[in-house]
Structure 1
Amino acid sequence: MPAIGSLDELADLIARRPGLYVRWSMGPEIDLRAPGSRDELTGIPLPGLSANPLDVEPWWGERPLRVWAARRLYDYAHLPRVKDPRVRPWLLHGKVNGRGPDNEPLVTDVRPIGWIDPAVIEESTEEISRQHGGWGPLDRSRRDANPA
């Protein structure tokens, strides 16, 4: 499978091809053997692969696609550290078949597009660090175990 090698290349793909998703896993060879995710809390099988949409929302306006793409990757860049170092992001096209427990799309009819190179994750982190305001990844392992 080819690799997307830069944040600009990813932004260009997002602009040209609607219906793209990013999935963080060990890859399509493993995921497509039994295409469906599992709810980690309950173990319930889900009707599709858990993935994050890359389509730009209308409220984003004319802002840079590069920042949009960076944010979509940055939010989950912690997953290799907290799940398994073999977990990597890959790009796919598919059809939404429902929503998972975190309201994420569950995608079927999956067509792999390419791996997202680790350099793109580094670029995403740099891009997010240049933005105004504080922003962190959606890392549950870092949350307080006893929220107020």
Structure 2
Amino acid sequence: MPTLDRLSELTLLIDHGEAVYLRYSPGPEADATHPSKDHESGLLMSGVSANPLWPPRWWTRPAEDWVARAVCQYLRELDEGARPWVLTGRVVDFGPDNEPLLTEVRPIAWLSDELLAAARLRYQQQLDAGQATHSG
């Protein structure tokens, strides 16, 4: 599987018309053996959980800002041994955080450490990273 090194490469994927998703896990081979598991209930879900990479219609900022934000939402999973990768597949249901659950998964690319660093930098520079939803 190829590796994307630049945030702009990842952003270009959302312009090709195919729904692409981001997943943090050990990788496609490990995920092919079982669906995702809801850790709170212990139940197996009907597919692998993934997060859409395309911005919603209300997003008026650059798409690259949205993609950087999406990449940064699950960086903590790197400490748990997960790797970020891009995929496509068929949405069959939704998980406990309303994330799409995919079957018929087709891996597209890994994300490099350089891309993760660029996403983190853009996220911190362009958005109020970590801003609380409700203040004071």
Shift of 1:29: 0.7
Equivalent residue number for residue 130 of structure 2:
136
Q: Return the offset for 1:15.
A: 1.5
Query: Partner amino acid for 2:109?
Result: G
Where does the alignment leave 5 or more consecutive residues of structure 2 unmatched? 132-136
Q: Which residue of 2 aligns with 1:5?
A: 5
What amino acid is the match of 1:77?
L
Deviations 1:86-106 (A, max 9, x none): 310010011111111111111
Match of 1:141?
none
Match of 1:92 among 87, 92, 103: 87
Residue 38 of structure 1: aligned partner: 37
Residues 73-88 of structure 1 aligned to structure 2 (within 5 Å): 73-81=71-79, 84=80, 86-88=81-83
Correspondence for 2:65: 67
How far is the alpha carbon of 1:129 from its aligned partner?
1.2
Q: How far off its partner does 1:16 sit?
A: 1.7
Structure 2 CA distance, aligned partners of 1:37 and 1:110? 13
Secondary structure class of the residue paired with 1:59: coil
SS at match of 1:136: coil
Unmatched 5+ residue regions in structure 1? Answer: 138-148
The TM-score normalised by the length of structure 1 is 0.83
**Distance change >3 Å, CA 69–CA 132, structure 1 → 2:** closer
- Cα deviation digits, residues 9-68 of structure 1 (max 9, x gap): 00111122431001100000110122x10101111010000110112211113x212111
Task: Percent identity, please.
Answer: 40
Partner of 1:16: 16
Report SS of the residue matched to 1:55. coil
Could you state the TM-score of these two structures normalised by the residue count of structure 2? 0.90
Matched pairs, number: 131
In 1, Cα distance between equivalents of 2:10 and 2:89: 17
Q: Distance in 2 between matches of 1:28 and 1:111?
A: 8
- Which residue does 1:144 correspond to in 2? none
| Aligned-CA RMSD value | 1.4
SS, match of residue 75 in structure 2: coil
Aligned counterpart, 2:114:
119
